Amino acid sequence: MIKVKLYELDKHRNECTFRPYIWAHNVLKDVGIEFTRGDSYDYAWVAQASFLNKKVSLQESVDNGLEFLSKITGDYMLIDGQDSTSLMGSYEVFKDSNALLLLKNSLLKDRTLYKSGLQLGRSYWGPGEYKLNDFDQYNDRILLSGTNWIATHWAGVNVQWYDYSRTKEYDISAMFQYPTLSKNYEHGHLQSHFYDEHRKPVLDVLNKLDSSIKIARLQNGQRVSAEEYYKRMSSARILLAPFGYGEMAPRDLQAAQFGAVLVKPDMSYIDTCLNPFVDGETYIACNHDYSDLQEKVEDILGNYDKYQYIIENARKKFLELYRPENIALHVYDIFKNLNGVTTN
């Protein structure tokens, strides 16, 4: 039996990252892997809240992360459970530490893009100054974690599927914040204006639609109660899910739950496990600049009955993929491929 210590499980972001693995703990034990919080272990898992702090400069975050890791005895792996292609902060700690692996929730399929320069690490915000010139030296030790943001929301939850044939009040749900009401900084860099610039084109398209199309939206970025938020979202035939600070969000699962057709920017460039995103089967992809969003939305609303299969396929895909057995098998393969490791 391989014993894996989960460091600082009680920290919020760490708990979210570890949650799908803990949910699968019984199946993991069946394949010879069990978790512990004690000091007797074979490997340690360290999640991002223990070695990454976006509220300080990148250099200070890296220094603090390395200091934390220097106190760990034995073999350990880092887990970056953020739902983003960004490696900023995690990568710098990983390459200068003794970590065996960096496990990441999602990565770019074309990993050469990490060397080309991204806007604060987020590819969908366009080209920028953040580039990892030495990425090839570490590429083979940066692996998918086997979970993602959707798994975090799925784990241990009794997902309810709503009847999507019921009468709905809205044609489109655009229940996302714009503009952001507070400035968001990561490592000293202002992020919120990139966030707003990415979402504004969505609202520009919605404003061009026929006035007879009913849209559920937030006014001027003002939040509403959770009850009102879910009431509006669940009463829409189409659910829009633009990127924010990551590619995935709870709306991706909620669209299937509430019985809406999910429309979001193309996810084919993302490598993630488990991956429910299949354009034309489980969601409808639009261009990242939203240049075809109006066309896609109008076609769905004009032929809504013909798009019901998207909802059914999405539900089947979630039920098929997000099982503890799949998470356990992925983790098993990670350990099986380590040198000198024997699993049952």
Distance CA 335, CA 330 (A): 9
Distance CA 324, CA 20 (A): 8
Can you list the positions of beta strands (E) in 37-104?
43-47, 75-80, 102-104
Per-residue confidence (pLDDT) for residue 257, from 0 to 100: 97
For 245, the token pair is: 């600070």
Distance CA 133, CA 333 (A): 29
For 187, the token pair is: 């490592």
Helix (H) or strand (E) holding 299: helix 293-302
Per-residue confidence (pLDDT) for residue 236, from 0 to 100: 98
Residue carrying the six token digits 């999910």: 262
Over the stretch 61-87, which tens digit does the pLDDT of each residue have? 999 999 999 999 999 999 999 876 789
Asked if residue 251 lies in contact with residue 244, where contact means CB atoms within 8 angstroms, the answer is no
Over the stretch 191-211, which tens digit does the pLDDT of each residue have? 999 999 999 999 999 999 999
Give the DSSP per-residue string, 221-233: T----HHHHHHHH
Nearest C-alpha neighbor of 326 from the set 83, 162, 150: 150
Per-residue confidence (pLDDT) for residue 105, from 0 to 100: 94
Q: Which residues contact 252 (CB under 8 A, 6 or more apart)?
A: 150, 241, 262, 264, 276, 277, 283
Query: Please, which pLDDT band fits residue 340 given cuts at 50, 70 and 90?
Result: low
Helix (H) or strand (E) holding 316: helix 308-321
Tell me how crowded residue 36 is: count the other CB atoms within 10 A of its CB.
13
Distance CA 255, CA 238 (A): 8
Tell me how crowded residue 78 is: count the other CB atoms within 10 A of its CB.
26
